[in-house]
Chains A and B, each alone.
Chain A
Amino acid sequence: MAKFEKATSISNWLDQRLNTTGLKKVLMTEYWVPKDVNFLWAMGVILAMTFTMLVVSGIFLLMYYKPDVNLAFDSVNYTIMQEVAFGWFFRHMHAVGASVIFLIIYIHMLTGIYYGSYKSGREMIWISGMLLFVTFSAAGFSGYMLPWGQMSYWAASVITNLFAGGSLEAWGVVEWIRGGFTVNDYTLTRFFMLHVFLLPLAIMGLIGLHFYSLRIPHVNNQEGEDIDFDIEAQKYLDGNKKESKVVPFSPVFISKDFAVLGIFFVFFFYLVFFHYNFAMDPVNFDKANDMVTPAHIYPEWYFLWSYEVLRGMIYDLGSLKAGDIGLIAFAIANGIFLILPFLDKDPKILPAHKRPLFRIWFWLLVIDLIVLTIFGKLPPTDGNALVGFISSVTFLLLFIILPIVTIIDARRRGNL
């Protein structure tokens, strides 16, 4: 038995039993963050807080929502929106939060790509982050089904159909996922379970892994400087705070995070109160009807780029049908970011502005993602389909040439 003494205070009582002093050091006062970072390094805390807002608003919606095809639509659009006090507030917060969290995820991801924060020891941060992106996508998709409007139903129908694998015609898989021949009551109830229990649970676990994976390699900095965290931390602890290149996560770094968080929340609640319509598709205010497809189906904005890769493949290639190529391209588009650390062959961690060719590659990727997003929303007429085709092919090509681009940069610098 360990030795316990009479406690001098509540915190001392806890310290003896839980080693709270040690925990505080590991997580806060001796978890070191470089000084040379900008506001983009605050996105992690913003995401954690936005996720918290989704959980809290979700709990309130959960108390009135009914996962049944006959009741779901009215429980959302009548009970929650019109009867429950502040029901509209929690719904708009949840819908806007779901949209905004993807905006911040994309900024967070692109920041990581720009500064090369995914490689040489930081692979697990990137991989756990991409797994979070995948689970958040699944949560977004399953949640979109719940109001049981026309878009809910048809998006569910189209996306579950993807599992038939095009010409593979694996209909058994689709029917297994749906629990029926078409999207039905059983589909709604099981996706409700996924949305409110299994996926949030997975997300919380992955967030834990994501934070933990940061602890050993530490976060990157703006110029890709190779910081010896032990030496710099010692300088700080010795009182040479000015010379040290690092600051403790808490209370120093977190104060800046909170400042950015404050600005973010003003923006977030501006959207919730005055601009919630962008997250509320008018078509989804028609109740689901399995006999009428809406004139034009499109997913929420954050899925548009991969949706455009799916439908952008409009030409057959030999015996491969266009639809099948689209499906393969869609699968690649959703998985390719996961292996980014292994496609970048440059051994040094440097920001894009110190890697001439990679810098061009990065901005081409950003432009291509924007073009895909815009054309994913437009109807697939001849001209639009062609732009979609070109930008989808460009997306795949960018990842094929990435190893070459990074090798050339490294050779010119003399690192390879």
Chain B
Amino acid sequence: MSKENSRRDFLGYSFAAVAAVGVGASLISMKKAWEPVPSVLAAGFTKVDLSTLKVGVPKTVKWRGKPVFVLKKTQNMAKSPRDLVINNDRYTIAIGLCTHLGCIPAWKTDVWKCACHGGIFDASGKQTFGPPPKPLDIPMFSLNSNIITLGETGQEYNKISKALV
């Protein structure tokens, strides 16, 4: 290899090193720029008063832009380890987005039916038909007498998540 060539190689490699650092740093900044901004991430907390619920009629509340179903179960509805139990009342709390592709299932008599691809969830939020791969997700919540706060992690939430593992 001639002297001239190796000097040109040196220039090439040093440019490649500078360029690699620059490209890498730019890609990181571009990736970060697409992330949700802090005001979106710090979306607030939603409170629901369970004593206002009618038995067997789910209520839909909005939390972090997502619908959350809160249902006070009737005596005929099957028990589930997913239930929040207060005294003798059983409640289903679930994120109301189909676990298949995120449509909002609608309440039909005693199940949630998804219009998009035909998935069905029972009163406990468990999938019973169609493409949904798993039950409706349970949002983090905490309990204070009859009021739940979505977005906080309380011991009742931990107990239910532990029972599901």
Contacts and interface: CB of A to CB of B under 8 A. Distances in A.
Interface of A: 154, 157-158, 161-162, 166-167, 175-182, 184, 186, 190, 290-297, 311, 313-314, 321-324, 326, 379-381, 385
B43 A297 contact: no
B12 interface: no
Contact of A176 (B35, B114, B130): B35
A290 B63 CA distance: 11
Contacts of A157: 102-103
Contacts of B115: 293-297
B117 A311 contact: yes
A297 B119 CA distance: 13
Nearest to B130: A314
Contacts of B37: 179, 186
A285 B62 CA distance: 24
Dominant secondary structure at the B interface: loop
A228 B60 CA distance: 71
A285 B40 CA distance: 27
23 contacts: A157-B103, A158-B101, A161-B101, A167-B134, A175-B35, A175-B36, A176-B31, A177-B34, A180-B36, A181-B36, A181-B43, A181-B65, A182-B66, A184-B40, A190-B34, A293-B116, A294-B115, A322-B130, A322-B133, A323-B133, A379-B118, A381-B118, A385-B118
A161 B131 contact: no
Given A321-B133, A385-B118, A184 B104 contact: no
B34 A179 contact: yes
B43 A311 contact: no
A134 B34 CA distance: 22
7 nearest A-B residue pairs (beta carbon):
A182-B65, A321-B133, A161-B102, A323-B131, A293-B104, A380-B118, A293-B103
A162 B101 contact: yes
A180 B65 contact: yes
A178 B41 CA distance: 12
Given A293-B115, A297-B116, A322-B131, A179 B102 contact: no
Interface residues of B, number: 29
Contact of B62 (A186, A291, A322): A291
Nearest to B100: A323
Contacts of A322: 130-131, 133
Contact of A291 (B40, B67, B116): B67
A293 to B, nearest CB: 4
Contacts of B102: 157-158, 161
Nearest to A289: B104
A291 B104 contact: yes
Contacts of A176: 31, 34-36
Interface string B87-106: 00000000000001111101
Interface string B43-68: 10000000000000000101011110
B132 interface: yes
A361 B40 CA distance: 51
Contacts of A291: 60, 62, 67, 104
Contacts of B40: 179-181, 184, 186
A184 B34 contact: no
Interface string B105-117: 0100000001111
A184 B65 contact: yes
Interface in B109-156: 114-118, 130-134
Contacts of A190: 34
Given A167-B134, A291-B62, 17 more contacts: A158-B116, A179-B40, A180-B36, A182-B66, A184-B65, A291-B104, A293-B103, A293-B104, A293-B106, A293-B114, A311-B117, A314-B131, A322-B131, A323-B131, A323-B133, A380-B118, A381-B118
B136 to A, nearest CB: 14
Most buried by A among B65, B114, B116: B116
Contacts of A177: 34
A294 B115 CA distance: 8
B65 A167 contact: no
Contacts of A385: 118
Contacts of A292: 104
A311 B117 CA distance: 7
A126 B115 CA distance: 38
Contacts of B100: 323
A294 B103 CA distance: 9
Contacts of A297: 103, 115-116
Contacts of A381: 118
A166 B36 CA distance: 22
Contacts of A326: 131
Nearest to A166: B133
A380 B117 contact: yes
